[in-house]
Structure 1
Amino acid sequence: MALHALEYCERLFYLEEVEGIRIADQAVYDGRRLHEEIPEYVEMTSFTLQSDVLGIQGKVDVVRSMGGEWIPFEYKKGRANLTRDGKVRPWPSDEIQVAAYTLLLEEHFDRKISEAKVYYAQDHRTANVTINDALRNRVHAAVNRATDLRSSALRPPIATNERLCSRCSLAPVCLPEEERLIQSGKKEIPRYFPPDREGDVLHVSTHGSTIRRSGDSLLIENRDGDKTNVAIHSIQSIAVHGHVQVTTQAIHRCLSEGIPIHYLTGGGTYLGTVGNLAGGVQRRLRQYSAMVNGDFCLHLAKILAKAKIDSQLRYILRLTREKDRDALQDQIDQMRQAARKSSAAKDLNELRGWEGVTGKAYFSSLGHLTRNDGVLSINGRNRRPPRDPANAILSFLYSLLYKDCLQAIIVVGLDPCLGFYHQPRSSAYPLALDLMELFRVSLVDMVVLGSLHRQQWDITADFEFAGKQCWLSSSGRKKAIVLYERRKQDTWKHPVIGYSLSYDRAIELEVRLLEKEWAGVAGLFAQSRIR
């Protein structure tokens, strides 16, 4: 099967067989179902063979005795390759796969086999494959090429035949059309990246609750004995807030299903993640090679800082479109100057300086715009711990954003320890902090400011005070979670790529576009802006 993928597309082979990335889409499930329905012939079915000489192993669908000769059969769910004169031909990838099975059989039986067959279920046609020396040499050449690719840390280029990508299950990971957008400047591209996530984030924030496994569901029980069942297949990830217990059985099941469990304190501080982080060695080697290049890191940091500054400036301009801007003109001018100067920064320290100038002007502007909200106004940015309700909300939602950015990095297979802008001065992962900068305004600041203006918060019920410190209460956390998760499902159109997707999906997309920056396809990372 690996040779089948190699003949179809070398990038597909590398992603599946070297990096270990596999996605079972509907076509994959249909193929599995077809193989389960293969009739039990008198001859051998699902016959597994291995050759140390060839360096391959495989499971032949069916081996039949016909005319005194063993004939391997390969079953495919699709249509046969029909020539213009109506002859039935195997597709090249099917041909080399069944030829490889034939070579295994030849070694097993110690005799030459001259023919193999490929059955196509969709149009009930069978293609004959003549096994000759030329085809045998193709198999040997393919095995050698596969060996070479396995020893490389670099992904092969995308397929030149664009039609292959439309039928590939790994197109959402490969993002071939996004690469073609950069390479050829196409204005419109087919869309393979999913518009929204396939599961929900399960937040458990009631102190004293316990998460247990119950068959194919998770059972959440609080101190009062109230129980809630959530189907495991509907969960994308779990966020555990505060004093919540998760049983070993529940953790094991989540690990086996690829569901990460994120732990946060009751105040919203991120603590850590339990998840399956194995694999992705080649991806991390490529990432490391890029992150030790100081000039390259500065280049990425400038792109990132420019995107953040532009978003902050545009948001303030949007909020003041119908108002008198005179009171905020100094802050707006400072942000505009920082946007210009940041692109010419000579090092990361200078870049952070301009980002700091923007941040001070930005939160000063937000304070002016919320001055009539009383105790819930944004009076600058303070944290660790926050000292007022608005900053308590900001800190809590930034923690949720950090958690989602970290999860996207893990899903893509990069190392969150290796960032290009933030430095490892705390327990926080630098790459997750980098990625957060792209979404602070759109996923947090806009949510907080909107909720303040709509007076959605109850200063007595939603907040807890201890001296000069302020945190969200249990009801406040639940309210913030609902606002944040609802915002993540809002959709927007990417200004460069051209298709629409949810903010939830946009986080993962940016990680994949970041990876392309050091894979020779630069120009798409951090290009999105709020309108």
Structure 2
Amino acid sequence: MRQHLNTLFVTTDGAWLRKDGANIVVELDGAERGRVPAHLMGGVVCFGHVAMSPPLMGFCAEQGIGVSFLTEHGRFIARVEGAQSGNVLLRRNQYRLADDPAGTAAVAASMAAAKLANQRTVLRRALRDHGPSMEPDAQAGIDDAQRRLGDAARLAAAASDVDTVRGHEGDGASAYFGVFDRLIRAEDPGLRFKGRSRRPPLDAPNALLSFLYALLGHDCRSALEVVGLDPQVGFLHRDRPGRSGLALDLMEELRPLLADRVALSLLNRGQVTAEDFERREGGAVLLRDEARKAVLTAYQERKRDEITHPFLEEKVTVGLIPHLQARLLARHLRGDLDGYPPFLWK
């Protein structure tokens, strides 16, 4: 099993990263703020105006440490990586399946159905934990949405073409995000969810979700590269220049567990408040620097939780799930598995 390596997140504007022996050093205004041994790192993620020395970039590429640069919004800009790993035959199988409508639909259906089922789990857990204290209208709305998600998941799993799968996935997303605000128990009007918005996010919950999705996207892309798959060529997401379609595919079934639940916990426990966000010209809402650190801590802690993998039936840390799913997908592409077994959260 793959060792659970850490990810170094750098969010402070003006930070400078350099190499010192086998260590990654972080400096700010010429003063050292921290250092970590490179052999403990699986990736480095830089947000906003963060710079890195060329020797460190080269060292990370040689050591297989992926380096991602994102905007302060969490939008992907670029990635530095070394020679591509994996068997070329695996990638050729991936491309062949991506060009096969039936094969593409089968993988996309599994991923979309798992995403919808996992979103349903988020709603059902909310009803289980907080249903009695909810207003009747809110409780009824969430209950109706979880039933709609169940129906959409079954229809997506049975669909025979990708466009139909995408249609059912869209119907489920509408039901899910239509009641997402009712899952936020904080009473502050500054934390209300007004419908999914991105590029830029237009309210605090959307800013939090977008930030977490960016973190998850980095982990999924790294997991795919480790097993030798091409992150750009997906099944559920259409090919588009500059977009990591397969990484986005892999994210779908993991968003409810690794991002949505983390966001709700942070908001409902008061760990992130309305004061932790700032509004920019044009309506964009962003997390402040100190709040980002709190979110990163919660995300990393979530990745250390243990869960029983539904297909492998063994205890694993949540942070290993992207890597395990990438390996299961590779096994399917090699022909070792008849179908791709998605991650179903129970």
User: Does TM-score exceed 0.5, indicating one fold?
Assistant: yes
Instruction: Say whether residues 1:310 and 2:111 are aligned partners.
Output: no
| Residues 55-454 of structure 1 mapped to structure 2, 5 A cutoff | 193-194=1-2, 196-197=3-4, 199-223=5-29, 225-279=31-85, 280-321=87-128, 323=131, 325-370=139-184, 372-373=186-187, 374-425=189-240, 427-454=242-269
CA distance change for structure 1 residues 231 and 372 in 2, over 3 Å: closer, same or farther? closer
| Residues 467-478 of structure 1 mapped to structure 2, 5 A cutoff | 467-478=282-293
Partner letter of residue 300 of structure 1?
V
Between 1:337-346 and 1:247-256, the stretch displaced more is 337-346
Partner letter of residue 225 of structure 2?
I
**1:167-220 Cα shifts (integer Å, max 9, x gaps):** xxxxxxxxxxxxxxxxxxxxxxxxxx24x51x3211111111111111221221
| Unaligned ranges ≥5, structure 2 | 133-138
**1:346-376 Cα shifts (integer Å, max 9, x gaps):** 4222211111111111112221222653321
Partner letter of residue 312 of structure 2?
I
**d(CA) in 2 for partners of 1:525, 1:489:** 25
SS of corresponding position for 2:26 = strand
**1:320-344 Cα shifts (integer Å, max 9, x gaps):** 0252542333323322221222223
CA distance change for structure 1 residues 317 and 417 in 2, over 3 Å: closer, same or farther? same
SS of corresponding position for 1:276 = coil
RMSD: 1.8
CA distance change for structure 1 residues 238 and 400 in 2, over 3 Å: closer, same or farther? same
**d(CA) in 2 for partners of 1:204, 1:291:** 35
Contact 1:462 1:474 in 2 (8 A): no
Contact 2:325 2:343 in 1 (8 A): no
**d(CA) in 2 for partners of 1:476, 1:406:** 25
| 1:81 equivalent in structure 2 | none
**1:237-273 Cα shifts (integer Å, max 9, x gaps):** 1111111111111112112212111111112111121
Contact 1:371 1:377 in 2 (8 A): no
Contact 2:17 2:56 in 1 (8 A): yes
More helix by share: 2
Instruction: Say whether residues 1:460 and 2:266 are aligned partners.
Output: no
**1:496-528 Cα shifts (integer Å, max 9, x gaps):** 211111122111110110011122222573443
**1:259-301 Cα shifts (integer Å, max 9, x gaps):** 1111111121111210113343222122222222110110111
Q: Runs of 4 or more off by more than 6 Å in structure 1? A: none
CA distance change for structure 1 residues 467 and 221 in 2, over 3 Å: closer, same or farther? same
Percent identical across equivalent pairs?
A: 31
SS of corresponding position for 2:240 = coil
Contact 2:15 2:27 in 1 (8 A): yes
SS of corresponding position for 2:216 = helix
Partner letter of residue 477 of structure 1?
R
User: Highest Rg: 1 or 2?
Assistant: 1
Deviation at 1:426, TM superposition (A): 5.0
**d(CA) in 1 for partners of 2:246, 2:218:** 12
Contact 1:438 1:526 in 2 (8 A): no
Contact 2:43 2:66 in 1 (8 A): yes
Deviation at 1:229, TM superposition (A): 2.0
| 2:136 equivalent in structure 1 | none
SS of corresponding position for 2:285 = strand
Partner letter of residue 338 of structure 1?
A
| 2:318 equivalent in structure 1 | 503
Instruction: Say whether residues 1:484 and 2:302 are aligned partners.
Output: no
Contact 1:277 1:410 in 2 (8 A): no
Contact 2:67 2:79 in 1 (8 A): yes
| 2:135 equivalent in structure 1 | none
